[in-house]
């Protein structure tokens, strides 16, 4: 690789990393502002609704993955048409579930869920716009759109919070801010007009894979809350480190994903990408192993000082999740569905390990989650190696 190409790649990595970190930091700003401005009951209501948003954006993640992999052979117009179709479907489905969700979450009225549905519409379209920029390797424009998305969602949510201290107002601000960002993203992508949708079957496959990954990333916190009761706060402190280790190498996946569409590029790039992800997280794992008690105090404060929280295990789990994501991207690119099945098996294994055996302490629960995730890395590597070997033989 030439020196100018290497410099460009490093600049792209810095831009994407900065944009992702900024967007995630902005989400924390909204959470902190809401926690301070809302009554505890209303904040709990908003937190539950935002958790539904995380599930609701799985189709957006799938659209981004498919668009990044297929834009060169499908073109932007059919993919943009697909994004609009999926967005409309998600909105209609969520609106149909308004009575059920309002009752399930014990809401006083339907408007919080209505605004939730309206916020999912632009977020789903943004998924395909991200993928179009990613697939054409316009990483500077992608970094700008990611930054604007964080600003639009959080800025709109904060303005809604300022106008009225309610979950409906926050979600209304988020929806409006996200719609404005969609207009900007559409212009950045060259203002494509929608054409007959293409790639729907691939999006369905990717959605199953992404849903399984989202569950795997977040499931341990739910299980810890159920099994540990009074120790769940300590587990949440450790989970912050898991998210750090998971998100730190995210730029690697963003940069590499378009190259995975080609089998030869995939064979060359994937081992390097896996090594870079692992290398970045080595520093997090080593720091947690050496300065674990200090890290616990910095994250959770003095009330967690002295608690037995094995931060290095949380860091290792986050690193494994980052590797799982890359391996999953590779198999989605190749059309191989075995990795998707493997992720669902890992989800079931984690539930079984923690529910039946490893549930007596923070250390035991994270060990159960780590065993399931590390086992998935091994399984994913074996599946990747066999898929690569079969491709070479053909």
Radius of gyration of the chain (CA): 21
Residue 230 per-residue DSSP state: G
Enumerate residues 6+ apart whose C-beta is below 8 A from 377: 320, 323, 324, 327
For the segment 344-349, the average pLDDT, to the nearest whole number, is 93
In the block, residue with structure tokens 């920029």: 133
Kindly state the percentage of the chain with pLDDT values over 90.
35
Please tell me the chain's helix, strand, coil percentages from 3-state DSSP, rounded to the nearest 5. Answer: 85, 0, 15
Enumerate residues 6+ apart whose C-beta is below 8 A from 104: none
For the segment 334-344, the average pLDDT, to the nearest whole number, is 84
Q: Give the model confidence (pLDDT) of 27-60 as tens digits.
A: 777 877 887 787 767 877 887 788 788 888 888 9
9, 33, 224, 311 from 351: Cα distances, Å: 40, 33, 11, 21
Q: So what's the pLDDT on residue 27?
A: 77
Distance CA(269)–CA(266), nearest Å, equals 5
**Burial (0-12, 13-18, 19+ Cβ within 10 Å), 6:** exposed
Span of 158-162, 243-247, 259-263 with lowest mean pLDDT: 259-263
Confidence of residue 88 (pLDDT cuts 50, 70, 90): very high
Count of CB atoms situated within 10 Å of the CB of 334: 19
Q: Give the model confidence (pLDDT) of 193-232 as tens digits.
A: 988 887 777 888 888 888 888 888 888 877 887 777 666 6
90, 105, 371 from 100: Cα distances, Å: 16, 9, 36
pTM exceeds cut of 0.85: no
Task: Quickly list DSSP for 364-384.
Answer: HHHHHHHHHHHHHHHHHHHHH
Confidence of residue 73 (pLDDT cuts 50, 70, 90): confident
Tokens representing 239 are 């989970």
Count of CB atoms situated within 10 Å of the CB of 62: 27
Tokens representing 159 are 């303005």
Count of CB atoms situated within 10 Å of the CB of 349: 17
Tokens representing 280 are 């970045």
Tokens representing 49 are 């609704």
In the block, residue with structure tokens 């053909």: 394
Span of 51-55, 116-120, 348-352 with lowest mean pLDDT: 51-55
Distance CA(169)–CA(53), nearest Å, equals 15
* Residue whose C-alpha is closest to residue 333's, from 250, 245, 270, 248: 270
Distance CA(173)–CA(164), nearest Å, equals 10
Tokens representing 124 are 């789903």
Distance CA(77)–CA(87), nearest Å, equals 15
* Cα of 90 vs its chain's centroid, Å: 18
Enumerate residues 6+ apart whose C-beta is below 8 A from 227: 354, 355, 359, 365
Q: So what's the pLDDT on residue 57?
A: 87
Confidence of residue 129 (pLDDT cuts 50, 70, 90): very high
Distance CA(346)–CA(335), nearest Å, equals 20
Q: Give the model confidence (pLDDT) of 155-186 as tens digits.
A: 999 999 999 888 899 999 999 999 999 999 99
Tokens representing 145 are 């759109």
For the segment 263-292, the average pLDDT, to the nearest whole number, is 89
Q: So what's the pLDDT on residue 264?
A: 82
Q: Is 51:183 a contact under the CB 8 Å cutoff?
A: no
Angle at 372 between CA 204 and CA 295, to 5 degrees: 110
Helix axis angle, 167-188 relative to 139-163, nearest 10°? 160
* Residue whose C-alpha is closest to residue 256's, from 242, 275, 280: 275
Distance CA(30)–CA(161), nearest Å, equals 9
For the segment 81-92, the average pLDDT, to the nearest whole number, is 92
Tokens representing 10 are 């490093």
CA atoms lying within 13 Å on the CB side of residue 309: 33
Helix axis angle, 362-393 relative to 311-334, nearest 10°? 30
Span of 27-31, 108-112, 286-290 with lowest mean pLDDT: 27-31
Q: Is 105:114 a contact under the CB 8 Å cutoff?
A: no
Q: So what's the pLDDT on residue 4?
A: 53
């Amino acid at each position: 690789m030439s020196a100018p190409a290497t410099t460009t790649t490093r600049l792209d990595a810095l831009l994407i990393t900065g944009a992702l970190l900024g967007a995630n930091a902005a989400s924390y700003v909204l959470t902190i502002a809401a926690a301070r401005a809302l009554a505890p009951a209303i904040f709990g209501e908003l937190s539950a609704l935002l958790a539904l948003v995380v599930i609701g954006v799985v189709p957006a993640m799938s659209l981004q993955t498919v668009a990044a992999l297929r834009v060169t052979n499908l073109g932007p117009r059919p993919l943009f048409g697909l994004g609009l179709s999926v967005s409309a479907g998600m909105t209609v489905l969520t609106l149909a579930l308004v009575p059920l969700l309002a009752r399930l979450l014990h809401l006083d009225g339907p408007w919080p869920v209505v605004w939730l549905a309206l916020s999912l519409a632009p977020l789903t379209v943004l998924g395909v716009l991200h993928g179009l920029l990613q697939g054409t390797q316009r990483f500077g424009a992608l970094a700008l759109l990611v930054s604007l998305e964080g600003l639009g969602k959080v800025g709109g949510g904060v303005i809604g919070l300022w106008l009225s201290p309610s979950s409906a107002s926050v979600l209304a601000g988020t929806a409006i801010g996200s719609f404005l960002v969609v207009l900007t993203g559409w212009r950045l992508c060259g203002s494509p007009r929608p054409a007959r949708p293409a790639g729907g079957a691939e999006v369905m496959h990717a959605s199953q894979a992404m849903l399984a990954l989202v569950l795997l990333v977040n499931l341990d916190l739910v299980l810890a809350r159920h099994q540990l009761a009074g120790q769940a706060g300590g587990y949440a402190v450790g989970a912050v480190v898991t998210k750090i280790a998971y998100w730190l190498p995210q730029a690697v996946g963003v940069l590499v994903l378009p190259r995975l569409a080609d089998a030869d590029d995939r064979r060359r790039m994937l081992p390097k990408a896996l090594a870079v992800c692992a290398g970045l997280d080595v520093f997090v794992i080593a720091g947690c192993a050496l300065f674990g008690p200090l890290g616990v105090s910095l994250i959770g404060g003095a009330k967690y000082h002295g608690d037995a929280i094995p931060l290095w295990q949380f860091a290792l789990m986050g690193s494994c999740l980052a590797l799982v994501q890359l391996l999953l991207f590779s198999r989605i690119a190749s059309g191989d569905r075995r990795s998707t099945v493997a992720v669902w098996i890992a989800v079931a294994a984690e539930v079984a390990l923690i529910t039946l055996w490893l549930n007596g302490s923070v250390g035991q629960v994270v060990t159960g989650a780590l065993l399931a995730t590390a086992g998935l890395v091994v399984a994913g590597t074996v599946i990747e190696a066999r898929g690569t070997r079969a491709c070479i033989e053909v």
